[in-house]
A = this chain, B = another copy of it.
C-alpha cells in the first residue's frame, strides 16, 4: 500500500499537496504560539503544533474515506508540523513581534485548508455544496481542536467572520472549477479572499447581527 517514507500521494494534485503542506506548517505555528503563551514545555508545544496542523486534514480524509489520511501516509505532513513546533519554540519572540500572530497565521491556514479541503472533496466526487462545506470543516477543524485542547471556546464560535471567510474562499474555488477557471489562479484568489476577509473583519471589528432581542434575554 505504501513504500518508503516519502510515498507518492496520488490522490492529491501537486498544487493541492503544496498548499496543504504550507497550511499544515502555518496551523502548526499557530498551535506552537498558543502553547508558548500557555507556558507549555517543549513536548506540549510539539503536541499542540501537531494537533493544530494535522487535525483538519485528518477529519477531511476520514470523512472522504481516504484512509489512512494523508497526514499518516505521507511523512512530510508530520515533518512540516514538527518544524512548525520547533519554529515556535525557538523563534516565538520574533513571531510575537508581528501584531496578532495567531490571528494572522490562523487566517492563512484557514484560506489554504478551505481550498485544499474543497478541492479534495471535488476529486472524491462530492457535489459543489457539500464540497464547500467540507472545505469549511477542514479549515476550521484544526483550529477548533487546538482551542479545545487548551480549554478555550474555539475561534470559529467566538469570532464574527471566521467560518464565513473560509466559506467564501472555498465557494470561489468550487465555483471557479464549475466555470472552468484555471485551477492555480482560482486557488490563489480563493485563499486571498479568505485571508483578506478574515483580517479586515478583525481589523475593522465587523460583527454579524445578534438574534433580535437576545441582548435582553
Complex alpha-carbon distance, A3 and B148, angstroms:
36
Complex alpha-carbon distance, A90 and B128, angstroms:
28
A29 within 8 A of B: no
Residue of B nearest to A163 (CB): B47
Q: Are A43 and B208 in contact (CB under 8 A)?
A: yes
A184 within 8 A of B: no
Known A-B contacts A39-B214, A64-B68, A208-B41; the reply to A47 vs B156 at CB < 8 A is yes
Interface residues on A, range: 35 or more
Could you tell me the dominant secondary structure of chain A's interface residues? helix
Q: Measured between C-beta atoms, what is the minimum distance from A76 to chain B in Å?
A: 10
Binds B, one of A100-108, A118-126, A169-177: A118-126
Complex alpha-carbon distance, A162 and B58, angstroms:
22
Residues of B within 8 A of A45 (CB): 211
Residues of B within 8 A of A44 (CB): 157-158, 160, 208
Complex alpha-carbon distance, A162 and B44, angstroms:
9
Q: Which 6 A-B pairs have the closest CB atoms?
A: A65-B67, A1-B125, A41-B208, A42-B208, A72-B130, A36-B211
